[in-house]
Structure 1
Amino acid sequence: MHKELQDILVLIRDSNRPLALATLLRVEGSSYRRPGSRLLTDGDQVLRGSLSGGCLEGEVLARSNEILADGLPRLLRYDLRGEIDLVWGSGSGCEGVLDILVERIDPGAPPEWIGWLEAVIRHRHPLRLATSLESGFSRRRLEPGEKPRADETQETIQPPVSLWILGASDDSRPLLRLAKELGWEVGLLDHRPAFARAERFPEADQVLSGHPAQRVPELVLDSRSAVVLMTHNYLKDLEALRLLGRSDAGYLGLMGSRARSAKMMADLAAEGVDCGPRLHSPVGLDLGAEDPETIALAVLAEIQACFQGRIGGPLKAARTPVSAI
């Protein structure tokens, strides 16, 4: 779940007045935003989110007042193909047909599906949400393996990435800060009590002290979990990887040189531990990073690409639709 949607859920929960939520359900052709993008408004201003490159937000904001007044949801269709896009967006490049559902949300009695979204964060289970536009509209949760009906659109909401940083030195700070900006859950673990202090990392969701053999088995790691080892201590990294290789973590990143990584993998292989393709070392994309901030950018970019099934190359060299970057 991306930070935009997390922020929208918080705004709905904290509001004391009805709000209008616009959801991009379908796109034919290209679009600046992809299906599942949302915009929340109180009728006077956009509170969070976007649906296009700026060409439709004003129009949707105006229409939202109708929905707030009568409580009836509306499906809006905008055709931004060809020269029409010059009228709507001054050449924003959407060049597609967008179906946008706008509905009223009463924070005191939110629809059931809002609770389903909140449960994705709380329980870290993905949600497949099907929306039907027949006879008004309705939403339902799809069970594992269940396919949507012909009249339904489908959206899959994944839990936020959970990042554990092993090593609480100063170079961990930018990695933590940037990850929190992305809406990720972030924890730090260090074997040195003087370093693993919550006051040193106030943005962290958890700060733990203890040796890897003691603490790593306690970590809740799933396929959307990433662990970056940056203790700068060979034995502690080896101790952690010995356990992480048997975990469900979807991404393992090891800071250090290729020679250091090769020696560590050989030591683990001799013990029968294989981290497989999940292990990335040297960690991060090749961005020419040299300082802690740019290294953090390179590491987070690689994690994002990994969980999206991408290689992290330039878009101009890829055939990936721009609306799905």
Structure 2
Amino acid sequence: MEDIHDLLDAIDSSSVGGVLATVVKVTGSAYKKEGAAMLFKPDGTQVGLLSAGCLEKDLSERLKENNKPNGEFIYDMRGEDDLSWGEGSGCNGVIHVWAEKLSGAYVADLLQLKKVLRSGQSVLMIKKQGECPGYLLIPDEGEPFGCWEGGVPDDCRVIERGVFFSKALASDVYVHRIRPKRRLFVFGAGPDARPLVAFAAGAGFSVTVSDWRPAFCTAAYFPAAEKHVTGFPGEVLEEIDVKSDDCVVIITHNFKRDQELIRVLKDKELRYLGVLGSKKRTARLLGVDQIPPGITSPAGLAIQAQGAEEIAISIVAQLIQVSHSVRLKEAACL
């Protein structure tokens, strides 16, 4: 998951005066990569991580000592002597961190960023250093916003994430395309769906749970879900707008309900459509001898999972695998 989503959930008016720290470049290996972010609030609250816990305390102290925290902090984790950052860190790289003081205007722009992402749009974030630092947030639709002077050179739009020197701007520039949270729709609100929803939400998915039984489909049973939709398949499928980037897991344990769901969903373009149960049962649901390639059955990686928790882990691992493989393909095409 994009770290920025957790940070955006934590940002409010109390964040003014705090610091946003972002990993913009990693040379060699590191626990976290470009895009990892951390929020240091004025009251001492910290949200997120930039490493495996190797540098956060030092960065916090350096930010307190520096009256002007805006700038770059570099941590060389490659050394193995007792005085180096590399000793026992588990990393073997150089980590570049950009720190930015959060003004009231910056916090307002970050809250606007959260709103845009929740609308389903991705946002291109551009930051620059030098004599005229600034940031710009460019949504898929609508007007850009932020603190920025001048235009945006074409070289800032050709990469998904990374830092480089822009000749046009005569400064280092960090670019990061922030995508909305991945969405997962779980049809079925039985007890074994609870760990699936909890683990998926913890992995960064925006989860919607749907079931025809109102006593089951509740925030009490699924506190990690962002939405709870009650109704029979024919009703909820008209209400829920699934898109090509979405993932769906059918886990109702009711043959008739599963059949209603799969007959509609099999014709939709989805990132992932998984059905709990054996291949034989899924084939019966579809009335075919062979399951179409767009349907995963049984849902989850083949790790010999047993019990609700292990099965949930196998499914979430597969969802992560599918999501990352797609984004790697997209990046390779740029």
Q: TM-score, normalised by structure 1?
A: 0.81
Structure 1 residues 40 and 84: alpha-carbon distance in aligned structure 2, compared to 1, 3 A threshold: farther
1:287 aligns with 2:303: yes
Q: Indicate how the Cα distance of structure 1 residues 204 and 79 shifts in structure 2: closer, same or farther if over 3 A, else same.
A: closer
Q: Counterpart of 2:118? A: 122
Unaligned residue ranges in structure 2 (runs of 5+):
141-153, 167-172, 327-334
Percentage of pairs with the same residue: 32
Distance 1:120 1:81, change over 3 A: farther
Matched residue, 2:182 = 161
RMSD over aligned CA atoms reads 2.9
Aligned to 1:83: 80
Aligned residue-pair number:
301
The question of whether the paired residues in 1 share the 8 Å contact of 2:262 and 2:286 is answered with: no
- Of structures 1 and 2, the one with the larger relative CO (CA 8 A, separation 6+) is 1
Aligned to 1:189: 210
Q: Structure 1 pair 85/174, CA: closer, same or farther in 2 (3 Å)?
A: farther
Q: Match of 1:97?
A: 94
Change (3 A) 1:276 1:85: farther
Q: 1:259 and 2:259 equivalent?
A: no
Q: Secondary structure at the match of 1:263?
A: helix
Q: 1:139 to 1:110 in 2, by over 3 A?
A: closer
Please list the CA deviations of residues 30-81 of structure 1 after superposition, one character each: whole Å capped at 9, or x if unmatched.
Answer: 11110011122236746112212222212211221245x33x5111222222
Q: CA, structure 1 residues 63+223, in 2 after alignment: closer, same or farther (shift >3 Å)?
A: farther
Q: Is the alpha carbon distance of 1:14 and 1:141 closer, same or farther for their aligned partners in structure 2, counting shifts above 3 Å? A: closer
Greater fraction helix: 1
Normalising by structure 2, we get a TM-score of: 0.79
Query: Is this contact kept in 2: 1:33–1:53, CA < 8 A?
Result: yes
- Consecutive unaligned residues of structure 1, counting only runs of 5 or more, are 311-325
Q: What residue is the counterpart of 1:317 in the other structure? A: none
SS of corresponding position for 1:28: strand
Deviation at 1:218, TM superposition (A): 1.7
Three-state SS of the structure 1 residue aligned to 2:38 is strand
Aligned to 2:192: 171
Q: Distance in 2 between matches of 1:85 and 1:96?
A: 17
CA–CA distance in structure 1, aligned partners of residues 314 and 270 of structure 2 = 19
- Could you report, residue by residue, the CA deviation over 1:249-269 in whole angstroms, capped at 9, with x for unpaired residues? 311110010111233344499
What pairs with 1:178-217 in structure 2 (closer than 5 Å)?
178-217=199-238
1:1-325 alignment to 2 at 5 Å? Answer: 1-2=1-2, 4-15=3-14, 17-42=16-41, 45=44, 47-67=46-66, 69-70=67-68, 73-83=70-80, 87-106=84-103, 108-110=104-106, 113-115=109-111, 117-141=113-137, 146-147=157-158, 150-151=165-166, 152-267=173-288, 276-277=293-294, 279-309=295-325
Structure-2 separation of matches of 1:166 and 1:103: 42
Query: Any idea what SS the aligned residue of 2:192 has?
Result: helix
Amino acid at match of 1:25: V
